[in-house]
Structure 1
Amino acid sequence: MKTIFTAYLNTFKGLSKEVWWLALITFVNRAGAMVIPFLSLYLRDDLQFSLSDVGWVMTCFGFGSLFGSWIGGKLSDKLGYYKTILFSLIGTGIGFFFLQFITGFWPICLGFFLLIAIADMSRPAFFVALSAYSKPENKTRSLTLIRLAINLGFSAGPALGGLIIAGIGYFGLFWVDGITCILAGLLLIKALNPRKAKETDQEAPVLIPLPPHKDQLYVIFLIALALFGIVFVQYFSTVPLYYKEVRSLSESQIGLLLGLNGFLIFAFEMPLIAFMERKKWSQLANVIAGLLFTGLSFGAFFLGSWNLFLVVGMAVATLGEMIAFPFGNAFALRRAKLGRQGAYMGLYSMSFSLSHIFGHNSGMQLVNALGYDITWLVMVAITVVATVLLVYVKRRITTEEQENLVNI
């Protein structure tokens, strides 16, 4: 047991102290994001919004994320990642303080659009900071550490949020969220001020930057990732409904199944990524493998009524997530060396915002119109399309690299 634990700890070795600070800042910020998991309940129970109104607020939430990711990429290139992250954290904290006093439907829609736009400005900036503070050989593991911090934060946040609601009510969430965002900003000032932190990225900058929308292969790669996101988000929208309505699972059983996702990521993602990096497989090949695992997981719903198959399906989907997301992030960062890093990573973040905007709603509409089984088959078909796109990108990039070697 001691040997296994030592081997697990060894997978974290070699990461810079700045990356560890980024992970801690991310954890504090995400653990404090308690309003978000309870947003639909807050709108229904506290503000007495209709289901239709809740849906529109969530749509504004998604568009705010999309806009924030875009403008955050622009600001990262203009102002730098440090100022962008700091503005986002402090601005989000202040926004939470004010949002609790807004109760009207349209003001709430506008308020959440602006709040999430400011909050998600930091997403591309965090990627750029991670690239600056990571050695090239450590970038995928550094990204994995940040994902670990996000998952731990999202696990702790809802649990604390439930206690706060029970103790003092929903308004307490806004105060705690605001305070933790500002604390994360102060931690950023203390630990990662550019005057104190030394950048470790040793890759040479590109003299003539290429705008991301003109990088055809990168755009196709992002389309494939957006499709993957549409498939993956079903595990947090239509799949829980399937568990309850078709498999008759209780809320506690559904919670345990969803919790399995976070536990597997915490226990196995970093060792898995370290193992795959040692194999020297290409980043895109790993993304393709992760995508296929996630698509394959929907087959568990057709295997029979034994609930163990649902556990297997969740485990396979999580395996796909653990592989696809870190290596997809790493490929995007590597490709961003062709141009403006902030703009590249902003577009990368936007692809997942689109997944949330369209993925949840399209899944619900498919279930309502065609039923669960057809919906799962559609998700498998989307997986196939995304895989074909990634295989095309991989082959084109391989050809590019071979031509560059010939020209050297």
Structure 2
Amino acid sequence: MHALRRWWHDTAGGLPATFWYLWAGLLINRAGAFAMLFLSLYLTDVRGASVGLAGTVVGAYGAGGAAGVLLGGVLADRWGRRATLLAAHLVTAGLMVTLAFSRPLLLIAVLSALIGVVHSMPSPAFVAAIVDVVPAERRSRAFNLQFWAFNLGMAVASLLAGVLAEASFTALFLVDAGATLTAAAVIGWKVPETLRAATPTIELQPAAHSVPEPTRPRRPGLHTALTDRTFLVFVGLTFVLAVLTMQTSTIMPLAMSADGLGPSAYGSVVALGGALIVVGQLFVPRLIDRHRKDVVLAASTALLAIGFGVLAVADELAVYLGAAAVWTVGSMLAAPPNAQINADLAPPQLRARYQSVFYLTFPAAAFVAPTLGGVSLQHLGDRHWLIVGGLGLVAAIGHLLAGPPRERHVAALRRADEQKPTTRAEDRAPIT
């Protein structure tokens, strides 16, 4: 019993109440956010769209998300985390109801793009709020729990969605809208605004003959993140990981359908991944804490590459389930170091903006994966999965090459910040 209590304390102890309300809002949102998972099947099975056209419409969702994640980052740093979260959730619910009763493909494409915008806006605000309220030494467990909640919700969503999609796609969209409103209610009721005005700091000049240290810009903005070369290399590698991950919600449903497997089978594959994460994610921190972040990310990306590469020979549900187990382990290993590296590279006053550029990889991947993947699957068939696997292996090597210089850069940034004469009050105060 003592060992169990110790494990729970190491996994989830010492986190503030605001974090848990954010966690609950994310969990509720994801448990009901399943409509877009089945958009490609909805378009082909109900609206009569071709595979290529369905990929383009789903790609519009990703294109909207690319704009939305940047907008969410800017608003979260200027307007506030709470206000951004509430606005995005409320607008999402309204658009989802509209989509439920829309028929023309052009209108569905426009609505998909708009939903992509508001679906992506909360991501940088959620993570920036977590960084605001959780001390640096506890953020790894907070990010691990955030990823756990996301996938616990996805597991529930996949099981419900498989049943709802076979009964009524309209119900699928309406239940999604209801869950989004519930998440907004939790955030509005219990989550305070965590954005605080930045305390001015004085830039220190390096002593004569000293080694120059990286310095934070005097008037930072979104361009700071977009011109941070070390950060952008990390973002580029994350983009490849996102392209691989997006195969599950964009191309894999079409491949399974071509193999004669229906929506319930697809729901089972996605639910298996969520279930594995629910069971195993809480043990990940102890597994990876002893290893360098770049090594962990290289191993995780390689597992994703292997898992999706196996789909080149998949034609039965059992093979899809086995491959899902492999790539899910890769996703589990990647989540904490990805979030930690992002937090390490971001200046405090630009947390949400850096998060928005980081999260830009996911809507960008949501556009690239179906747009190119739909054409690739249509013309190359199962060879599409060999290309996906090869791309993942290249990214794994990239992580090993980029890791050491990035760690040196992070260490230099920390030294530069420690030399500043002022420190923000919220970074000094312990949170219990």
Correspondence for 2:242: 229
Q: How does 1:7-406 map to 2 (within 5 A)?
A: 9-10=8-9, 11-44=11-44, 47=47, 49=49, 51-161=51-161, 169-194=168-193, 208=218, 209=220, 211-239=224-252, 255-277=267-289, 279=290, 281-298=291-308, 300=310, 312-337=322-347, 340-372=350-382, 374-400=383-409
CA distance in 2 between counterparts of 1:48 and 1:262 reads 30
- Asked if the contact 2:309/2:388 (under 8 Å) is kept, the reply is no
Once residues 338 and 4 of structure 1 are traced to their aligned partners in structure 2, the CA distance between those partners, rounded to angstroms, is 36
Matched letter for residue 337 of structure 1 = P
Q: Whole-Å Cα distance in 1 between the matches of residues 244 and 166 of structure 2?
A: 34
Compared CA separation, residues 53 and 253, structure 1 to 2 (3 A): closer
Aligned-residue offset at 1:66:
1.1
- TM-superposition CA deviations, 1:204-237 (whole Å, max 9, x none): 9967447101100111111111112223333445
- Describe the shift of the 1:73–1:302 C-alpha distance in structure 2 as closer, same or farther (beyond 3 A): closer
Q: How far apart, CA to CA, are the structure 1 residues paired with 2:346 and 2:83?
A: 20
Give the Å deviation of 1:112: 2.1
Paired letter, 2:67: F
Cα pair distance change 1:94/1:234, threshold 3 Å: closer
Native 8 Å contact 2:129 2:195 kept in 1: no
Question: How big is the shift at 1:336?
Answer: 1.3
Tell me the amino acid that sits aligned with residue 18 of structure 1.
T
Q: What's the CA shift string for 1:148-204, capped at 9, x where partnerless?
A: 22222222234444555677x44444443333222221211211123xx799xxxx9
1:59-96 CA-partner distances (Å, limit 9, x unpaired): 21111111111111111121121111111111212222
Aligned-pair CA distance for 1:116: 2.3
1:300 CA displacement: 4.9
- CA RMSD for the aligned pairs? 3.6
CA shift, 1:245, in A, is 5.9
Change over 3 Å in CA distance of 1:273–1:186 after alignment to 2: same
TM-score (ref. length: structure 2): 0.78
| Paired residue secondary structure (2:360) | helix
Classify the secondary structure of the residue corresponding to 1:18.
Answer: helix
Cα distance in 1, alignment partners of residues 72 and 58 from structure 2: 21
**Gaps (5+ residues) in structure 2?**
203-215, 420-432
Per the TM alignment, residue 379 of structure 1 is displaced from its structure 2 partner at its CA by 2.8
C-alpha distance after superposition, 1:76-125 (max 9, x if no partner) = 12112111111111121222233334332322222221122122111111
Shift of 1:371: 4.4
State the number of aligned residues: 396
Q: Tell me: CA distance 1:294–1:42, structure 2 relative to 1, closer, same or farther (3 Å).
A: closer
CA 1:228–1:122: 2 relative to 1, 3 Å:
same
Instruction: For 2:305, give the aligned amino acid.
Output: G
Question: Measured at CA, do residues 38 and 308 of structure 1 come closer, stay the same or move farther in structure 2, by a change above 3 Å?
Answer: closer
Residue range with higher mean Cα deviation, 2-11 or 206-215: 2-11
- The change in CA–CA distance for 1:5 and 1:341 in structure 2 (over 3 A counts) is same
Change (3 A) 1:56 1:145: same
Q: Does the CA-based 8 Å contact 1:288-1:390 persist in structure 2? A: yes
The 3 A distance-change label for structure 1 pair 255 and 113 is closer
TM-score, length of structure 1 as denominator length: 0.83
Q: For residues 173 and 412 of structure 2, what CA distance do their matches in structure 1 show?
A: 55
Q: 1:275 to 1:345 in 2, by over 3 A?
A: same
The Cα of 1:305 is off from its aligned counterpart by 10
> Quick one: which amino acid aligns to residue 287 of structure 2?
F
Partner of 1:137, secondary structure, is: helix
